[in-house]
Structure formats: C-alpha cells, structure tokens
Amino acid sequence: MRLKPRILIIDDDHSLIRLTKHILSKEGFDVLTALNGLEGLQKAQKEEPDLVILDIVMPEPDGFQVLELLRQRNNIPVIMLTAEQTIDTSCDALTMGADDYIRKPFSASQLLARVRAKLRRAAVEVS
C-alpha cells in the first residue's frame, strides 16, 4: 500500500514539468515525470500511477494518442493539460475519455483542486 498518491506528469515542456512537480510534491504527492508520450506510456504501465496529467501537444505520440492507449489498458483518471484554447480541443479530449481539462497557464490552486477531486472520485486516499 502506498503512503501517498502517485501522479505521472507527461509533458515535453521541461519548465512546466518542474513547476507542476514542485506544486504537487509540496502538497505531499509522489510525482513521476515523462518527457514524451512513449516514456509516459512505459511509466504508466510499470509504475501504475493513481492519476496522469497529460499534455496534448507533444511529438509522436501526441496526448490524444497516449490517452487512447491508456484507455485501452485501464481507467486511470487523466487530466489533459494544454495551451490549446479551442473549445473543440477540450471537447475532443473529454469525448476521448479524459476526466478533466486544464488550460495553460493555470494556477496552483486550480491544479490541486482538480487533482484532489479526481483522486477522490477514484477512491484514492488523499491526505
């Protein structure tokens, strides 16, 4: 049994990964990172995180492809995180199986509230 929820961040933006990891780690989450979709899929399978934060715009495979592959394997909560500002993009993400969608830039409080809500719904204990 884990002492704290494990979150996997998949994003090709190094500075965003550092910032997001800092926010989540400071709140007591165990944070894993991946700099591309392939690495993210491998870590998701090996480490079995409780939640994934996934960028949409990345080199192959992009976030939509990663989401599709994650959904074929399990029902882990996924929050899509992207700078895309179109309604179609957020609708596509949710239609494909994402649990939530956050636009960049985001506030730490917004991110934490959404992460906690998704973990609660997935029955993962959050301290």
pLDDT digits (tens, 9 = 90+) for 7-57: 999 999 999 999 999 999 999 999 999 999 999 999 999 999 999 999 999
The answer to whether residue 77 is domain-embedded is yes
Ramachandran category for residue 7: left, alpha or beta (phi over 0 → left; psi -120 to 50 → alpha): beta
Inside any domain, residue 104: yes
How many domains is the chain partitioned into structurally?
Answer: 1
Report yes or no: 99 and 115 within 8 Å, Cβ to Cβ.
no
Q: How many other CB atoms sit within 10 Å of the CB of residue 24? A: 21
Q: Which domain holds residue 83?
A: 6-121
What average pLDDT is seen over the chain?
92
Q: Output the pTM of the full model.
A: 0.93
Could you tell me the CATH number of the domain that includes residue 103?
3.40.50.2300
